[in-house]
Structure 1
Amino acid sequence: MKTDTQFRIEGSWKEIKGKLKQKYASLTEDDLAYEEGQEEELLGRLQRKLGKTIDDIKEEINSL
């Protein structure tokens, strides 16, 4: 059974975005554009760009 990983952008998105850009040099500003309420759109872009599952991306962002 698949469980949904909770997704929270805690703290400053600018800090999280910076850490993701350091880890994944291929990410652009457009890939990391985030507006409140648009989490699923952001996750979809990151999934396509990084080739990871949505749950993996959520876990990674939550761990930053």
Structure 2
Amino acid sequence: MNSDQVEGKWKQLKGEAKVQWGKLTDDDLDVVAGHKDKLAGKIQERYGKSKEEAEAEVDRFWAK
């Protein structure tokens, strides 16, 4: 899924992201707004994961 498709489906994906990463707030997800790199950064920040771990989780999430 490319970034344009992700941004277009973000409202749907936002709920799924909140379920998967419950520590992310609605404000966090609004700031992310479908950008993979920003989502990985927020996951890294909230969960204390490495950049590589966070990016891998986001890649798996978008591959669904």
Q: Report the TM-score, using the length of structure 1 for normalisation.
A: 0.55
Q: Which has the higher contact order (CA 8 A, sep 6+)?
A: 1
Is 1:56 matched up with 2:59? no
Q: 1:29 to 1:55 in 2, by over 3 A?
A: same
Q: Unpaired runs of 5+ in structure 2?
A: none
RMSD (CA atoms):
3.0
**Amino acid paired to 2:54:** I
Equivalences, count: 58
Identity %: 26
Q: 1:39 to 1:30 in 2, by over 3 A?
A: same
Q: Unpaired runs of 5+ in structure 1?
A: 1-5
After the TM superposition, which segments of 4 or more aligned residues of structure 1 sit over 3 Å from their partners? Answer: none
